[in-house]
Structure 1
């Protein structure tokens, strides 16, 4: 028997133009820095009007993932979505974002869901509704917060990338970043680490870091690990200057025994924190430069140490192979 379809609707009035809110929803790649529940979005197909991606997000306190298709309608100010592979106990899920202009200005945000539960179990239906209520409210509030900052999204959302190529195996470079529990011993800018991994591939990481100016920060992140290709993370506790921060470590063969490692950051700046953190008279442009330098410096330092680790592992493997090939 086909499970019964259920519906849910969540709305919020926001003091911002519909186009501003639409652009934030349409840019799924920036969601981990904007939306609290979203950990990582990985595009599988991407066009002007349609896209397909795999998404990792917290659902009732645990990280889950699924694959969705979306249709983008900028003229109609609508985004429709449908999960093509839902995670149990959800049998099916889809919905629509609407951005309705309000008389006198502003926008009514409307987030619609339709869903089915496996076996149509009433307890499962309640569980799904609870997750939708929690995540939808968080997403609507996040959109309002960003749209009402008083700055265009391009000024407060910043994405940048650093890349390093070095001799060594992809698996060794990945292992260095994956074993963040050892970073306090391996990385000079990390002073304390607490790491748990449950289930395998999903990590909770808390650490204290020191930036070049001597300031210390405590951050807490959830990380999704896809061995040996990439590790995505989303900070749950961010420094004062940031409202959101997500990142991605990627590792790929570079040819001739080398690895190409990339560190990507997407951040959401807090304009109200700029004078407090950087000083009176400093601007968002100063904040972007400061964050770019501080985060880029630390991620490049991590990549350089990963490169040294991978090179050392490669040399050790070569020496072992050479020794095994000699005769007494």
Structure 2
């Protein structure tokens, strides 16, 4: 539910909104989801990546990358976490246009031991008080707040199955070469159709350096082709993180990262990490009658590991061929 709670005076440039939902889960479960930003990219559809810059159990400073009205934005926020009162307040340090300032508060109210009301408040100002800016912000808040509330509701109500549905795994390859050459291979994903046999098509745009949006057709071991869309954030020359914004039918979320670390004795170790949440309702539809979540885990692990390991091996061949 979305409610406009702006002050009624037409001269006011500050606007307020309220979005809410009822969740069939205990209030402390809901609070824990909101408090742990490390898992937001898996839980919240708009969130691409979140990094905690500093903080403890009461206060933190975080950097957020997220989609808004089809664009990728990023900002730094400060948060105050209040477990006793089941609330989290937040305020953007520096906002991106058309947002001049934004803050708000998550509030969880127990309705019963097993049911909670979750409310998400925002206050904001548009750059120069622009009406177009206000409309853009409201549309983004309505879309993203609904997606975040839906994500929290879905995860909280699946809390007892989350360990079964969510899993992470790594693939690592040692490369006897300069890490910069490995990075070049991974960073230049626009060249993957020429460099990787399992990539049939890849369209990449990078309007802001280090922020890549891409659509890719990937061939799996069984010959089928999957289309995915991703946002990638590039950090220096040793780490690339990404989130698939369009995922295959078996998943509700897929995030990953590439890391390049100097190895003892020379060269680098290159690791591909995947984190996936399985869509339980799609398992039999995709894999066949009688198939289980365990079957889906094995299938997804095998498919993703095969492709990422092939990418790592080709990156190794590319980098090692450039030695000297």
Q: Same fold (TM over 0.5)?
A: yes
How do residues 2-17 of structure 1 correspond to structure 2 at under 5 angstroms? 4-17=13-26
2:183 alignment partner in structure 1: 174
Q: Residues 285 and 23 (structure 1 numbering): CA distance in 2 closer, same or farther, change over 3 Å?
A: farther
Structure 1 residue 150, shift from structure 2 partner: 7.2
Aligned residues: 313
Alpha-carbon separation, structure 2, partners of 1:272 and 1:58: 26
Structure 1 residue 71, shift from structure 2 partner: 2.8
2:230 alignment partner in structure 1: 221
Residue 198 (str. 1) matches residue 200 (str. 2): no
1:249 alignment partner in structure 2: 258
Structure 1 residue 138, shift from structure 2 partner: 1.5
TM-score, reference length from structure 2: 0.86
Structure 1 residue 104, shift from structure 2 partner: 8.0
Q: Deviations over 1:195-247 (max 9, x none)?
A: 23333333232222223344432212122223423222221221111011111
Residue 299 (str. 1) matches residue 278 (str. 2): no
2:146 alignment partner in structure 1: 137
Q: Residues 122 and 164 (structure 1 numbering): CA distance in 2 closer, same or farther, change over 3 Å?
A: same
Structure 1 residue 169, shift from structure 2 partner: 2.0
Q: Residues 228 and 93 (structure 1 numbering): CA distance in 2 closer, same or farther, change over 3 Å?
A: same
Q: Residues 68 and 256 (structure 1 numbering): CA distance in 2 closer, same or farther, change over 3 Å?
A: farther
2:5 alignment partner in structure 1: none
2:104 alignment partner in structure 1: 95
Alpha-carbon separation, structure 2, partners of 1:74 and 1:304: 46
2:277 alignment partner in structure 1: 268
Structure 1 residue 38, shift from structure 2 partner: 1.0
Alpha-carbon separation, structure 2, partners of 1:157 and 1:40: 17
Deviation larger for 126-135 or 70-79: 70-79
Q: Residues 279 and 49 (structure 1 numbering): CA distance in 2 closer, same or farther, change over 3 Å?
A: farther
1:323 alignment partner in structure 2: none
Alpha-carbon separation, structure 2, partners of 1:27 and 1:286: 29
Contact 1:174 1:227 in 2 (8 A): no
Alpha-carbon separation, structure 2, partners of 1:255 and 1:4: 58
Stretches of structure 2 lacking an aligned partner (at least 5 in a row): 1-11
How do residues 1-328 of structure 1 correspond to structure 2 at under 5 angstroms? 4-103=13-112, 105-149=114-158, 151-254=160-263, 257-313=266-322, 315=323, 318=324
Alpha-carbon separation, structure 2, partners of 1:298 and 1:170: 21
Q: Report the RMSD for the aligned CA atoms in angstroms.
A: 2.5
TM-score, reference length from structure 1: 0.85
Alpha-carbon separation, structure 2, partners of 1:231 and 1:36: 19
SS of residue in 2 equivalent to 1:152: helix
Alpha-carbon separation, structure 2, partners of 1:285 and 1:46: 37
Alpha-carbon separation, structure 2, partners of 1:281 and 1:71: 46
Alpha-carbon separation, structure 1, partners of 2:311 and 2:82: 41
Q: Deviations over 1:138-168 (max 9, x none)?
A: 2112222333447433222223333333222
1:326 alignment partner in structure 2: none
Stretches of structure 1 lacking an aligned partner (at least 5 in a row): 319-328
Alpha-carbon separation, structure 2, partners of 1:71 and 1:288: 36
